[in-house]
A and B are shown apart, each in its own frame.
Chain A
Amino acid sequence: MKNLKHISLILIASLAMAMAPLSAAANAQSSEAAPVDVQEVVFGHLSDAYEWHITTWNGHHVSLYLPVIVKHHQGGWEIFSSKRFHESPDHTYKGFYVDHERKDKIYEQGYDNRPWDLSITRNVVQIWINIALMLLIFIPCARWYKKHQTTKEAPRGFVGAIEMLVMTIHDDVIKACIGEKHYKPYAPYLLTVFFFIFITNLVGLLPIFPGGSNITGNINITLLLALGTFLLVNLFGSKHYWKEILWPDVPMLIKFPIPLMPVVEIIGIFTKPFALMVRLFANMFGGHTIILSLTCLIFITFGISKQMGTSMTVVSFIMLIFMNCMELLVAFLQAYIFTMLSSIFIGLAHPEHEEAE
C-alpha cells in the first residue's frame, strides 16, 4: 500500500514535469493565440459533428469524415463525404455549408431553415459502434446456452459475468418493480434499455477514438428512451390505471366540480417520463462537462504561468481520476435508475390487486 502511494506520487510528479516543456511550447503559442475558450471546447466535445475528429498531429487534423445525407429545399437527396466542405475554398458543397454561427449544423445557401438532414454524424456512428458492441456481447452469450445443456452446466468467465448482470437486472429490477404477473413482456425491452444506456455511458467515458462521443448526454437520445417508457406505460396500462388517473379514490370535493386530482394525475403522466429524460441527460452531460473542464483547467493555468500550470496539473490529474471513477459509478447508476424507474412506472400501470377484483 505504501509502495503504491509512492509510485502514484512519482507518477503524478513525472507527469507534471513532462507536461511542463510540452505546455511551455503551447504557452508560447497560446500567448499570441486566443486563450482557451472553455465553453467552446466543452460543447465542441459534447456536440454532434459531421466528422469524427480523432487527434491533431503536427498541426494536421486527423479526422474520420462521415457521409452527409441532406435534401435540397427544391427536392432531391444528396449524399457526400463531409470532407467536401474542407476541400472547397468557401467551405460549401452543392449549396450546403456548415454554419458555425448556428450550432455547426448544415444549412442550404439562401434558406434560413434547416434542410432535411439524415447525415451519419459522429453520434450516429457511435450509436452503431455501441449497438455492435451489444450484439457482440449478448448474441454469443445467448448462443452459449444453445450449445450447452443448461441443466448440466453453468457458464463460467465472461458468459457467467454477463449472465449475472443480466439476471440481476431481470430479477431484482424488472421483476421486482413491475411484479411477477406482468413483467414478462417488458423484460427484453427494459434489458435492452439498461444495457444500451450502460454501454453507451461506459464507451462515452473513453477519451479516444472508438468511444468518447456524448450520446446519453444528448437530449434527443434520452427523449427517445423516455418516450419508449411513456408509450409502454400508457398504451398497455390497465383499466385500473386509467381509473386511478381520471377518477381516483379521493374525496368527491377535489375531483368533481373542479377536476383537481385528474388534472394533477394527467400532468403526472407527462412529468414522469420527462423526469427520466432530464435525469439521464443532466447526469451524463454534467459528468462529461466536469471532466472536460478539469482538463481545460490545465491548459488555462498554463496560459497564466508555468508554475501555476504545473501545480494545477497535479490537482487536476487527481481530480480527473476521482471524477472518472465517479463517472464509472454514475454510468451504472444512471442506467440502473432509468431501468428501475421505467419498471416502476410500468408496474404502476398494472396494479397487482386488479386481478383480485
Chain B
Amino acid sequence: MGNLPSILTPDFGLLFWMLLSFLVVFGLLAKFGFPAIVKAVEERKQYIDESLKSAREANEKLANIKAESEKLLKEARDQQATIIKEAMATREDIIRKAHDEAQAEGAKQLEEAKKQIEVEKENALRQIRAQVADLSIDIAERVVRQQLKGNAQQEQYIERILDEMSTSQS
C-alpha cells in the first residue's frame, strides 16, 4: 500500500465528495433530465407509429373506395346497357304493335267497308226489287187497264212495255 501512487489507494475525502456529487447529479438528472427526454421521444415515436398506421389504413380505405366506385361505375354501365337494350326492345315492340294495330284497324275498316257495301248492295237490290215489284204492279195495272180496250192493242202495249223494261234494265 505504501508504495502505490495515490490514484490507486482509497481516499476517504474523494470518495465522500464523489458519492455526494454523483448522488446530486443523479437525483437531478433522474428527476428533471433523462425521463423527460426519453418520454418525449417515446411519445413522438408512438405518435409516428400511429400516424403511419392510420395513414396505411386510410390508404387501404381509399383503395377500397376506389374499387367500390369502380364496381359501382361498372354496375351503372351495365345497367345503362340493359336499359338501352330494353328501351330498344320496347321501341321495336311498340312500333310492331302499332303496325299490327294499324293493320288490324285497316283490316277492320276494310271489313266494315265491305260489310257496308254489302248492306248498301242489299239495300239497293231490295230497292230494285221493290221498284221492280212496283213496276210489275204498275205494268200489270196498265195491262189490266189496256185489256179492257182491246186485245190487239193490249198485246201491242205489253210488247212496248216489255221493250221499255228491257231497255231500262239493260
A-B contact pairs, 30 of them (CB 8 A): A43-B7, A47-B6, A69-B13, A102-B2, A103-B9, A105-B11, A117-B12, A118-B16, A118-B17, A121-B13, A124-B14, A127-B22, A128-B21, A138-B37, A139-B33, A142-B36, A142-B37, A150-B43, A151-B47, A167-B38, A167-B41, A188-B33, A188-B35, A189-B26, A195-B29, A196-B25, A217-B7, A219-B7, A220-B18, A225-B22
- The residue on A at minimum CB distance from B43 is A150
Residue numbers in B under 8 Å from A138 (CB-CB) = 29, 33-34, 37
Shortest CB-to-CB span from A204 to chain B, Å, is 12
B-side interface residues, number (CB < 8 Å): 37
In the bound assembly, the distance between CA atoms of A225 and B29 in angstroms comes to: 16
Residues in B neighbouring A195, C-beta threshold 8 A: 29
Which residues of B sit under 8 angstroms from A47, Cβ to Cβ? 5-7
- Indicate whether A189 sits within 8 Å of B15 (C-beta atoms), given known contacts A224-B22, A285-B7: no
Determine if A192 and B26 form an interchain contact, defined as CB atoms under 8 angstroms apart. yes
Given the known interface contacts A119-B13, A131-B24, A131-B25, the answer about A145 and B37 at a Cβ–Cβ threshold of 8 Å is yes
Q: Which residues of A contact B33 (CB under 8 A)?
A: 135, 138-139, 141-142, 188
How far, in angstroms, from A150 to B41 measured CA to CA in the complex? 7
A38–chain B nearest beta-carbon distance, Å:
13
**A104 located at the interface, meaning its Cβ lies under 8 Å from any Cβ of chain B in the complex:** yes
Residues of B within 8 A of A145 (CB): 36-37, 39-40
Q: Which of B12, B13, B29, B35 has the most CB of A within 10 A?
A: B13
Tell me if A's interface is mostly helix, strand, loop or mixed.
helix
Known: A131-B24, A135-B25, A224-B18. 8 other contacts (CB 8 A): A43-B6, A118-B12, A118-B16, A131-B21, A139-B28, A145-B37, A146-B36, A167-B37
Complex interface residues of chain B between 10 and 64 (CB less than 8 A to chain A): 10-19, 21-22, 24-26, 28-30, 32-41, 43-44, 47
Bound together, the chains give a CA A131 to CA B33 distance in angstroms of: 13
- Given A131-B24, A138-B29, A142-B36, residue A46 in contact with residue B5 (CB < 8 A): yes
Select A223's contact among B6, B10, B34, B41, beta carbons within 8 Å: B10
Q: By the criterion CB–CB under 8 Å, are B37 and A219 in contact?
A: no
Judged by a CB distance under 8 angstroms, whether A337 is at the interface is no
Q: Report how far A114 CA is from B10 CA in the complex, Å.
A: 12
Of the four ranges (under 10, 10 to 19, 20 to 34, 35 or more), the interface on chain A belongs to: 35 or more
Interface readout for A156-187 with B: 1 if CB under 8 Å, 0 if not? 00000011001100100000000000000001
Given contacts A150-B43, A218-B7, A285-B7, contact A191 B14 (CB under 8 A): no
Q: Are B44 and A151 in contact (CB under 8 A)?
A: yes
The residue that B25 contacts in the complex, of A103, A167, A192, with Cβ under 8 A, is A192
Interface residues of A (CB under 8 A from B): 43, 46-48, 69, 102-105, 114, 116-121, 123-124, 127-128, 131, 134-135, 138-139, 141-143, 145-146, 150-151, 154, 162-163, 166-167, 170, 187-189, 191-192, 195-196, 214, 217-221, 223-225, 285
Would A224 and B19 count as touching, CB distance under 8 A?
yes
Q: B148 an interface residue at 8 Å Cβ cutoff?
A: no
- Assess the B15–A223 pair: CB atoms within 8 A: yes
Let me know if B152 is at the binding interface, CB within 8 A.
Answer: no
Which listed residue (B7, B25, B37, B40) contacts A46, Cβ 8 A?
A: B7
In the complex, which residues 81-96 of chain B have their Cβ closer than 8 Å to any Cβ of chain A? none
* A131 to B20 Cα, complex, angstroms: 11
Q: With the chains together, A215 CA to B43 CA distance in Å?
A: 36
Known A-B contacts A151-B47, A191-B29, A224-B22; the reply to A163 vs B37 at CB < 8 A is: yes
CA distance A189 to B47 in the complex (A): 27
Q: A103-B5, A119-B13, A135-B29 are in contact. Are A187 and B34 (CB under 8 A)?
A: yes
From A142, A219, A225, B32 is in contact (CB under 8 Å) with A142
Considering the chains assembled together, what is the distance between the CA atoms of A38 and B35 in angstroms? Answer: 46
With a cutoff of 8 Å between Cβ atoms, the chain A residues found around residue B18 in the complex are 123-124, 127, 220-221, 224
Do B30 and A189 have beta carbons less than 8 Å apart? yes
Q: Which residues in A have their C-beta under 8 angstroms from that of B41? A: 150, 163, 166-167
Are A127's CB and B17's CB within 8 A? yes
Provide the bound-state CA to CA distance between A123 and B29, in Å: 21
A264 to B15 alpha-carbon distance, docked (Å)? 30
Q: Which residues of A contact B26 (CB under 8 A)?
A: 188-189, 192
Complex contacts, B37 vs chain A, CB 8 Å: 138, 141-142, 145, 162-163, 166-167
B29 close to A219 (CB less than 8 A): no
Inter-subunit contact A154/B44 (CB<8 Å): yes
From A192, A218, A224, contact of B34 by CB (8 A): A192
Task: Report the separation of the CA atoms of residues A131 and B11 in the bound assembly, to the nearest whole angstrom.
Answer: 20
Q: Which residues of B contact A139 (CB under 8 A)?
A: 28-29, 32-33
User: How far apart are the CA atoms of A299 and B41 in the complex, in Å?
Assistant: 52
Given A142-B32, A142-B33, A154-B44, residue A120 in contact with residue B17 (CB < 8 A): yes
- Chain B residues 119-155 with CB under 8 Å of chain A are none
